[in-house]
């Protein structure tokens, strides 16, 4: 997909490619970046543990991804290729503005293709394309504490984490089954990382939870308002919580994506009018385009061969 901001070819606007004058590379000053990287090192060393950090003010409100942006800013280098996803899409407001923010403050190359990206900042989705060892995934996490629903005190939740007292997490799941007859948490579905810490996967759909397990890429989470960092190192066991008689499942759809026809990706429901017409389309716009391109190529090839056989 080509976006307006990506249309400028290098050289044409050489001044725009250079980092914004008067600002440090990637906006944050180097000592702040180092502080965040220290926090991240600790987070990687203790998978799933929430590391407090001195969150900085970013030029956008909390809730827009200030945590993820600080993590990205502290890690991004000149050689990186950045991709930003918002709800799976590369072209929504949040994704576009964060991408242009980093383009202006670092001058690094940006992409919408998961394969090409070395650093992907995401909000609420994991790309459909499997990630590789040389890629980084940075999540924007609004509420890093999975126990908050039952325990309002931060002091108490820290004790519960420290002592591994996770009975109350299952109380939440029990309540869910009691109310809905099934585990109805469809996003931010709590996971246990490396058999130890119960962790919020950020509000990704539970469809994406299995992708976190044994993922080759390093997954980093930044919560700007709550000022917490946590991480899931590569090839770490990530287990979604459940009951023996109500095992964890992912969402399923009865129909394929209306655009590309994929049956394996996460679909968004789009309401088309007020008479109940709706369509289901891939939430991952890049994967959708790729599948569509493949499908068209296959159809074209099919046409070619059929035309060839006609002759």
Partner 1 sequence: MNSSIPLLSARSLTKLYGEHVGCQNISLDLWPGEVLGIVGESGSGKSTLLNMLSGRLAPTSGQVVYRSTDCALSRERHATTTQDAPNDNTNATQCREIDLHALSEGERRRLLRTELGYVHQNPRDGLRMRVSAGANIGERLMARGERHYGRLRATALEWLDRVELPRERVDDAPASYSGGMQQRLQIARNLVTSPRLVFMDEPTGGLDVSVQARLLDLIHRLVRDMDLAVILVTHDLAVARLLSHRLMVMYHGHVVEQGLTDQVLDDPHHAYTQLLVSSILQG
Element (H, E) at 81: strand 81-86
Interface with partner 1 includes 246 (CB under 8 A)? yes
How many residues contact partner 1, by CB under 8 A?
A: 21
Q: Does 308 bind partner 1 (CB under 8 A)?
A: no
> Of 38-46, 50-58, 173-181, 218-226, which segment contacts partner 1 by CB under 8 A?
173-181
Token pair belonging to 111: 């992409």
Instruction: Find the binding residues for partner 1 in span 216-245 (CB under 8 A).
Output: 242-245
d(CA 203, CA 87): 10
Say how far apart CA 144 and CA 153 lie, in whole Å: 14
**175 near partner 1, rule: CB under 8 A:** yes
Distance in angstroms (rounded) separating the CA atoms of residues 149 and 60: 27
Q: Which is nearer to partner 1, 149 or 280 (CB)?
A: 149
Does residue number 181 form part of the binding site for partner 1 (CB under 8 A)?
no
Least distance (Å) from partner 1 to the CB of residue 241?
A: 9
Phi and psi at 64, nearest 5°, equal: -100, 5
66-75 helix and 93-106 helix, angle to the nearest 10 degrees: 30
List Cα–Cα distances, 153 to 8, 53, 66, in angstroms: 50, 19, 24
- By CB under 8 A, residue 185 contacts partner 1: no
Site for partner 1 in 89-148 (CB under 8 A): none
Using CA atoms of 123, 257, 205, 227 in order, give the dihedral in degrees to the nearest 10: 0
Candidate segments 37-45, 90-98, 170-178, 186-194, binder of partner 1 by CB under 8 A: 170-178
Q: Annotated catalytic sites, by residue?
A: 48, 257, 260, 282, 288
> Given the complex with partner 1, which of 22 and 181 has the nearer CB atom?
181
Q: How far apart are CA 300 and CA 311, in angstroms?
A: 17
194 binds partner 1, rule: CB under 8 A:
no
Q: Which stretch binds partner 1 (CB under 8 A): 40-48, 164-172, 210-218, 299-307?
A: 164-172
What does the alpha-carbon distance between residue 162 and residue 258 come to, in Å, rounded to a whole number?
47
| Of residues 154 and 175, the one with the C-beta less far from partner 1 | 175
Of the candidates 21, 178, 272, 308, which one interacts with partner 1 according to CB under 8 A? 178
Dihedral sign (CA 145, 150, 152, 154) = negative
Q: Is 167 in the site for partner 1 (CB under 8 A)?
A: yes
Binding footprint of partner 1 on the chain (CB under 8 A): 150, 159, 162-168, 170-171, 174-175, 177-179, 242-246
């Amino acid at each position: 997909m080509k976006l307006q901001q990506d249309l400028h070819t290098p050289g044409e606007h050489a001044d725009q490619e250079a980092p914004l004058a008067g600002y440090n590379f990637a906006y944050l000053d180097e000592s702040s970046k180092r502080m965040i990287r220290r926090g991240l090192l600790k987070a990687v060393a203790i998978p799933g543990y929430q590391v407090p950090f001195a969150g900085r003010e970013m030029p956008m409100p909390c809730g827009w991804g200030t945590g993820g942006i600080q993590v990205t800013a502290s890690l991004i280098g000149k050689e990186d290729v950045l991709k930003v996803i918002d709800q799976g899409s590369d072209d929504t407001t949040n994704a576009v503005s964060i991408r242009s923010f980093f383009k202006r403050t670092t001058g690094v190359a940006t992409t919408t293709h998961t394969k090409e990206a070395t650093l992907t900042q995401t909000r609420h989705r994991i790309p459909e394309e499997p990630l590789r060892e040389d890629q980084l995934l940075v999540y924007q996490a609004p509420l890093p504490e999975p126990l908050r629903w039952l325990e309002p005190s931060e002091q108490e939740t820290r004790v519960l984490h420290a002592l591994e007292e996770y009975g109350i997490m299952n109380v939440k799941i029990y309540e869910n089954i009691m109310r809905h007859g099934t585990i109805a948490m469809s996003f931010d579905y709590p996971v246990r990382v490396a058999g130890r810490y119960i962790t919020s996967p950020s509000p990704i759909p539970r469809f994406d939870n299995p992708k976190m397990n044994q993922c080759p890429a390093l997954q980093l989470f930044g919560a700007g308002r709550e000022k917490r960092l946590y991480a899931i190192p590569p090839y770490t066991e990530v287990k979604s919580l459940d009951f023996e008689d109500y095992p964890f499942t992912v969402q399923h759809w009865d129909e394929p994506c209306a655009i590309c026809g994929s049956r394996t990706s996460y679909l968004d429901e789009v309401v088309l009018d007020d008479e109940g017409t709706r369509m289901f389309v891939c939430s991952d716009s890049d994967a959708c385009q790729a599948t569509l391109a493949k499908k068209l190529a296959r159809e074209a090839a099919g046409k070619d061969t059929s035309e060839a056989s006609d002759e």
